[in-house]
Amino acid sequence: MSTNVPESIVEGPHRGSSATATSTRRGWRATDGGALTRFLDKISLALKMVRYRFSSYIFCHLWFLKLVFTLLRPARPIAIFGKLVILTKMKDVREVLGRFDDFTLGEVIEPGMPWGAFLMTVDWNEQHARERELLQSVVKRDIDQQIIKKVVAEECRERITAANGRIDMVAELAEPVVIRIASDYFGVSPLKNDKRRMARATRNLAGIIMVNPPVGSKPWIDSRDDMVALTQQLLEQIAAARSAIHASPQTLLPDSLLTRLSVLLQAGNTPKWFDEDWIRRYLTGLVATGLATVVRGTAQTVDQLVARPDALKEAQLLAAALDHAEAYEKNLPGGASDIERRSAAERVARSRDALSHYIYEALRFRPMLPLLVRDCPRETIIANGTRRVRVMPSGARILAAPLAAMFDPEVFPQPWRFDSQRPLKNYIHFGDGERRCFGRYVAESALLEMVRALLRLPGLARAPGADGRIRYQGPAPYSLVLTFNKQTVGAQER
């Protein structure tokens, strides 16, 4: 099968024992100079790692960014420091995210996506629209959301049942859930059928997208190894899907995005650029960008809710109300009238919407992607017609931060107050404009179901000590331990 997989990925060695791992790390190095060169390389790498860790810290613990944005917003809402532009107002952030041709993304994000072109690296508006449309054509939104919801609910139930009053909501809940979504919905099985390995891989891949680690560092090597494994597995899975489509009726195949895309490809009459390599690249992209982001969003939402006992209590009541509304809808007798069914459905939608408000508001204080970056290839003007108007210099890098925008008092009055009544349309957790998150329907369903499953737990609180705080591996969370009252859960279940 022809493929555009970068050679460095395909040829990259696998890691086994520690000795092999050492040789692997050497294998990635382009040159092997003398002792002095190696020493200087080590020093250089150590310095770069300090910078990487600092960037990761800033990206995860947002107090510094919040302080900077708060100081800049009244003084200089569009601040230009050389070639770095910082936006702090919602309108300006939306404007930059909405102007596809004027503010590009490919240059910034390509180093973090070494598996090849993906939706996010495409800067040509028409091509981006075509590829997005093709991907969209295999999504059955309503059905898929139900599938995701069911998968998440099942996995959460199993995981929480197994927990004994104490659960690491990242490692024992969110990561298994997103890996199951990858497997059942995307069609990407866990690497070597090892869910822990797959969880680590999603963290590593997300890590290089959010904060690119220095070349040759452990996170960089790990991410390359995972990329190799994922690429080889996807190539095999795509080949297997092709064979299965030829051999058996379509209805017998698992209904996943991989199968749907393969079927579409085999059906023919598709654009020339749509091939098996495209499927590989896009499924890799969905796994790398989607899974760890959902984990991050869930962990940070729960972290903010448990930090606010009043909000947590109200959210738990809403989760219970949603359960009741769904149970009522489910248990409607067969002879129920349309009005009754519609009323029940509306009640479910209202409850779901109310809970979403809490989740979005909690996430506002710690967004899953606090910073969005764009490049400005040509000189242009933003905020035209306002007092903030500025000329963006050519070649500038722009920080269009959702974190800053969602603390803009014009759109979020009293931004430091937790207010669950704010309009949902004001939030930009999933970006804005033509580049808004493609997998939003997946992320929203998974996020809501996971948070809801945790909110059902009576006495939900942080575990004491450091375990009760989110711990990060690079920019991706890997642990947040919560405690709950196991006896009460058992009683409720009975």
Partner 1 sequence: MNPNYTTIITPLDPGRVDACRQYLRDNAEPRPVGDLIECRPLFRFDKIASLHFCSFVILDADGEFTPSLVFEATFDGPREDFLGELLDVASEGMHEVYRHCADYPFSGRAAPQLVKEYLVRHDVGANTFFCGSPGRSVAQIRGENLVRDEILTFLSNRWQPGDAIPARSAGFLDEVRRHAVRGQDDSRWAEQVAPIPWEVRQRSAIVAAAAIAAFVVVCGTGIAVGALVNTLFGSGPLNLHGHIVGAFAHVSRIGAGVSSSLASWFPWIASHITVEPAILHILIALTGVWLIVRIFELFLTGWTKNPHDQLFINRFPLQIAVIVRYVLIVFLIGSVALAVISGMTAARSAGVEANQPGIGASLAMAASTIWRLILVCLCLVVLNYWATSLKLAVQLRPYDTVRENVRRLLLDIDRFAMVVVAAIGVLLIVRHMPFTVSSQIEAIARSAVFAVFVIVTYGTHWHSDLLCPRAHPFWDHTNAGDQGHAKSFGARRTHRTGSGERPKVRA
The site for partner 1 (CB under 8 A) is made up of: 75-76, 104, 106-107, 110, 117, 121-124, 126-127, 271-273, 377, 381, 389-391
Question: Other CB atoms closer than 10 Å to residue 347's CB: what's the count?
Answer: 17
**CA separation for the pair 281, 251 (Å, rounded):** 25
Residue in 136, 97, 151 with CA at minimum distance from that of residue 436:
97
**CA separation for the pair 476, 479 (Å, rounded):** 10
CB of 278 to partner 1, least distance (A): 9
Nearer to partner 1 by C-beta: 281 or 452? 281
Question: Other CB atoms closer than 10 Å to residue 345's CB: what's the count?
Answer: 13
Nearer to partner 1 by C-beta: 105 or 411? 105
The answer for residues whose C-beta is within 8 angstroms of residue 128's C-beta and 6 or more apart is 100, 119, 122, 434, 435
**CA separation for the pair 241, 258 (Å, rounded):** 8
Nearer to partner 1 by C-beta: 438 or 484? 438
Show the tokens assigned to 160.
Answer: 């929480």
Nearer to partner 1 by C-beta: 391 or 424? 391
Nearer to partner 1 by C-beta: 124 or 416? 124
Contact 390, 384 (CB under 8 A): no
Helices (H), 366-494: 402-405, 440-455, 486-493
Nearer to partner 1 by C-beta: 8 or 127? 127
CB of 271 to partner 1, least distance (A): 4
CB of 273 to partner 1, least distance (A): 3
CB of 270 to partner 1, least distance (A): 8
CB of 415 to partner 1, least distance (A): 23
CB of 377 to partner 1, least distance (A): 7
Is 245 strand, coil or helix? helix
Nearer to partner 1 by C-beta: 64 or 273? 273
Is 479 strand, coil or helix? strand
**CA separation for the pair 319, 352 (Å, rounded):** 8
